[in-house]
Amino acid sequence: MTRQPVSRRTLLCAALATVVAPRSANSQQGRDPANQEPTDMRIRMTFDGRTMTATLHDNPSARDFFSMLPLDLKIEDYAHNEKIAYLPRKLTGEGSGPFGNEQPYDLCYFMPWGNLAMFYADYRHPGLTRLGRFDEGQEGLHGRGAFPLHIERI
């Protein structure tokens, strides 16, 4: 059996993998993927002259959403208890997990459709990942209509 020479690129990739992989594994160790703890990831949503702020939770889906910002989307009414906005791509599903303490003013992600769900009344629905909670201005969700929506980091 003859050996093929190893390229510099292969050696470099192998060296990087030995340094980066253990750090990634250690940073995720002991974390609940559906964590509901607030973080310092804060966002501002603006539509129709209204401004809302929210604090995101410490889970992979929320971090993935935060990495996409800023975004310009369209917010619209859905059902009788929420507004929705479709994201340009689906979020990671790692942050999904059951939660039983649904409350108005939760900011969620509906995995099957790939949209944000912003609840302003009671709700219960499978397939949701909670991304965070609204802190201020959430009363704006009660206004009816479809509007351009800007989402940015604070």
pLDDT score for 74: 98
Residue 13 lies in a domain: no
Residue 110 lies in a domain: yes
Residue 99 lies in a domain: yes
The structure's pTM equals 0.75
pLDDT score for 14: 46
For residue 80, give its domain range: 41-153
Residue 19 lies in a domain: no
Task: Check if the beta carbon of residue 70 is closer than 8 Å to that of residue 96.
Answer: no
pLDDT score for 34: 53
The CATH number that applies at residue 87 is 2.40.100.20
Pairwise pLDDT comparison (23 vs 133), residue with the higher score: 133
* Alpha-carbon gap, residue 99 to 128, rounded angstroms: 9
Residues of the chain above pLDDT 70, percent: 76
pLDDT score for 153: 98
pLDDT tens digits along 10-20: 444 444 344 43
- Region 127-143: mean pLDDT is 94
Tell me the CA distances in angstroms from 70 to 6, 73, 115, one per residue in order. Answer: 42, 10, 16
Count other Cβ atoms within 10 Å, centred on residue 46: 17
Q: Which has the closest alpha carbon to 133: 109, 106, 93?
A: 106
Pairwise pLDDT comparison (34 vs 120), residue with the higher score: 120
Total domain count, the chain: 1
Which two three-digit tokens encode residue 99?
């939660």
Would you list the DSSP string of the chain?
A: -PPPPPPHHHHHHHHHHHHHHHHHHHHHTT--TT---EEEEEEEEEETTEEEEEEEESSHHHHHHHHT-SEEEEEEEETTTEEEEE-SSPPPSTT----S---TTEEEEETTTTEEEEESS----TTEEEEEEEEE-GGGGGS-S-EEEEEEE-
pLDDT tens digits along 51-78: 999 999 999 999 999 999 999 999 999 9
Task: Check if the beta carbon of residue 75 is closer than 8 Å to that of residue 47.
Answer: yes
pLDDT of residue 35 exceeding 80, the answer is no
Residue 17 lies in a domain: no
